[in-house]
Structure 1
Amino acid sequence: MVGMATAENFVLAIGTKKGLWLATSQDRREWSFTGPHFLMAEIPSVGIDTRGGRTRIMVGVRSEHWGPTVAHSDDLGATWSEPEQGAIRFPEDTGAAVERVWQIYPDAESRPGVVWAGAEPISVWKSTDGGEHFELNRGLWDHPHRSDWGAGYGGAAAHSIVVDPAGDTVHIAMSTGGVYRSLDGGASWEPRNKGISAYFMPDPNPEFGQCVHKIAADSAVEGRLYAQNHHGVYRTDDNADTWTSIADGLPADFGFVMLTHPRREGTAWVVPLKADGERIPPDGDLAVHRTDDAGGSWKRLSKGLPGKEYNSVLRDAASGDTAEPAGVYFGTRGGTVYASADEGETFTEVIAHLPDVLCVRAAVVAGA
């Protein structure tokens, strides 16, 4: 079992406004840190690829001087590499430039070397060499809806990528635009937002234009996904053809985080915030909420968290691992990171006083 694993078999990556911190642990309670890596550069995205017995950490780096790129390390951050011309660049005919890499998503074990990325301006990219070079997905970039996609509060971002490990279905979510689905591996895309509200638009139920904050797939039920919206929490059981609300039982339906269990059906975590105009935990009481019945009910989890906390948790500042029991991790805009080794029942403080936490990623990097 994972509980008998050798030393330093968990890795935790924390991307902030001013650099990257890496931590390793044997028990998910005591952590050893290195960093900051890329000091003074923004790190909005991290991907940890453990396929094929290798641990590769990929980071979206945004320098105010050099611009954005993707760098990678195969030795837990001791050294970093990136192509001389940059890992991710728009083709010249697009007339566009990458502003920020919002998401790095290693594909399934069955597709070694394939890594997806989501970026600003709204775009999706694919690598076949382990994240060293990315190519623009022209099917989405040339989509007729693109000129009508707007920017969310943080920018125009393709921020969520969910790939079917056994097929060619890919779902993405963007702010703003909503959920789009491809059934042919990304060659073509169609909006899939029926049931998700866009109350802030003249038509609250448009085909696209929703500000979906994050999506995640149920690992045990084919065709089931969950979405945290700009007000609204939803589930689909038909591969995003239709969505239904599962917000009942939550103290608020606004937030950014959506995590799902690596194995168990119907289990997901959210971190509610009061509202779009008051982006703080409800009543200043920070808590994670977990459902074990696909949104039928929610359990409040706050043991080990501070009594009062007025900083929010951003969409990618939360992660899970694949251990048993599953770990849950998140960081706040106040620079504190918390970890749970028991699926959220209890949390411990990992580190505090970091810059604004933008991204948290965790992985099991060694077996028993």
Structure 2
Amino acid sequence: MTKVLVLVGTKKGAFIFESSDGRRSWTIKGPFCETWPIQHVIADPAKKAIYAAGGNAWFGPAVWKSTDLGETWTHSSAGLAYDEGEEPIANAWSLAVGQDGLYAGVEPAGLFKSEDDGETWQQVSGLRAHPSRPQWQPGGGGLILHHIVTQADDPKKLWVGISSAGVFHSADGGETWEPRNRGTRADYMPEDQRYPEIGQCVHSLVMAPGGSDRLYQQNHCGMYRSDDGGREWISIEKGLPSTFGFPAAAHPRDPNTLFLLPLNGDIQGRYMPDAKAAVWRTRDAGATWSAMRNGLPQQNAYFGVLRQALSTDRLAPAGVYFGTGGGALFASADEGDSWACLAEHLPAISSVETLVVD
């Protein structure tokens, strides 16, 4: 029996939605993680483990772990700290599973790695040692490392997204890093400085399936695709209702299919354009876009969707899921063609990820 789990991080703990009947009905469990603020919940499919990153300036950072699909949880912050004298870590913001360990991104921006399934952590110090580090500036949500991308066929390759510093890449497991922002705009900079080496406000960074170096990026200032691991970015925002948004999600098998949730603009409210909800889908790597609206609210949709709150599952057809700042969770079992609301009135949703258990 195949189970689909939707893993939801919220401002008051983690929740798990589960379906065992082909995504026709769902049960909900939670809140977990002692109702801590949880920024990101992910799964390691090989180990059937679930991890949740969270905390804040009051609690401090921690990564929670469940090895029984959410029935019981433990957490650890061992090693999630900078050296004495540096600004303390306020929050664990993002997680990613690599071939050689578990990664966590934190605030202020930095990268940590665990080689014992989240029990202890060590800083990947090469990132904060980059010469550009003194120039990193916080975005609206702070100076956060909110996206970590690993490559399945090369454990040494890593990409991270930092607001507001941009995208950085390592080819040697984090020892050294280089900015990969060429072609992405920084519209908030003076006109002659719109394309700096660092200083872009990346919002979402995802890798296309299939083992290529294709990346997609939703930026504060546009939507982009790279076919060479981020060395060069091209704009793919033509046809979208806005250049601004937060989350993007790749199809599990088709590198040309991407799902996106544009918002109406950075100073216009940051909600659904025209207050009508839609997930935008491309089937041709961003050359054209279509709005998927069937089943989504088409009036008074004054909600936003955060940078990690859109995801897909690996079934065929792929499921697509997103959660709103108002605590609603929406799901599609047909790659966005139609939608249903799985829950309302959850705490503000920070992240949505999936796990399929056979």
Residue of 279, 289, 292 corresponding to 1:298: 289
Q: Deviations over 1:309-338 (max 9, x none)?
A: 101000011111111111111000111001
Counterpart position of 1:50: 45
Counterpart position of 1:261: 251
Deviation at 1:220, TM superposition (A): 2.3
Counterpart position of 1:80: 73
User: How far apart in 1 are the matches of 2:357 and 2:31?
Assistant: 21
Residue 30 of structure 1 aligns to a residue whose secondary structure is coil
Percent of residue pairs bearing the same amino acid type = 40
User: How far apart in 1 are the matches of 2:23 and 2:121?
Assistant: 33
Deviation at 1:91, TM superposition (A): 4.2
User: How far apart in 2 are the matches of 1:94 and 1:299?
Assistant: 50
Residue of 322, 327, 335 corresponding to 1:335: 327
On the 8 A contact 2:278/2:293 being kept in 1, the answer is yes
The residue identity in structure 2 corresponding to 1:103 is: S
Q: Deviations over 1:105-145 (max 9, x none)?
A: 112xxx26x11111111001111122222211110021121
Counterpart position of 1:241: 231
The residue identity in structure 2 corresponding to 1:170 is: L
Q: Deviations over 1:26-53 (max 9, x none)?
A: 22231111111135421111121111xx
On the 8 A contact 1:70/1:87 being kept in 2, the answer is no
Residue 247 of structure 2 aligns to a residue whose secondary structure is coil
The residue identity in structure 2 corresponding to 1:177 is: A
Flag structure 1 segments of 5+ consecutive residues without an equivalent.
1-5
TM-score (norm 2): 0.95
Flag structure 2 segments of 5+ consecutive residues without an equivalent.
none
Deviation at 1:340, TM superposition (A): 1.0
Counterpart position of 2:160: 172
Distance 1:94-1:161 versus aligned 2 partners, 3 A rule: farther
Q: Which structure carries more strand by proportion?
A: 2
Residue 134 of structure 2 aligns to a residue whose secondary structure is helix
Deviation at 1:204, TM superposition (A): 0.7
Is 1:160–2:147 an aligned residue pair?
Answer: yes
Aligned residue runs from structure 1 range 306-325, under 5 A: 306-308=297-299, 309-325=301-317
Counterpart position of 1:3: none
Residue of 18, 24, 35 corresponding to 2:18: 24
User: How far apart in 2 are the matches of 1:285 and 1:66?
Assistant: 37
On the 8 A contact 1:304/1:347 being kept in 2, the answer is yes
Counterpart position of 1:123: 110
Counterpart position of 1:190: 178
RMSD: 1.5
TM-score (norm 1): 0.92
Distance 1:273-1:88 versus aligned 2 partners, 3 A rule: farther
User: How far apart in 2 are the matches of 1:77 and 1:237?
Assistant: 37
Q: What number of residue pairs does the alignment pair up?
A: 352
The residue identity in structure 2 corresponding to 1:166 is: D
Residue 216 of structure 1 aligns to a residue whose secondary structure is strand
On the 8 A contact 1:231/1:275 being kept in 2, the answer is no
Counterpart position of 1:252: 242
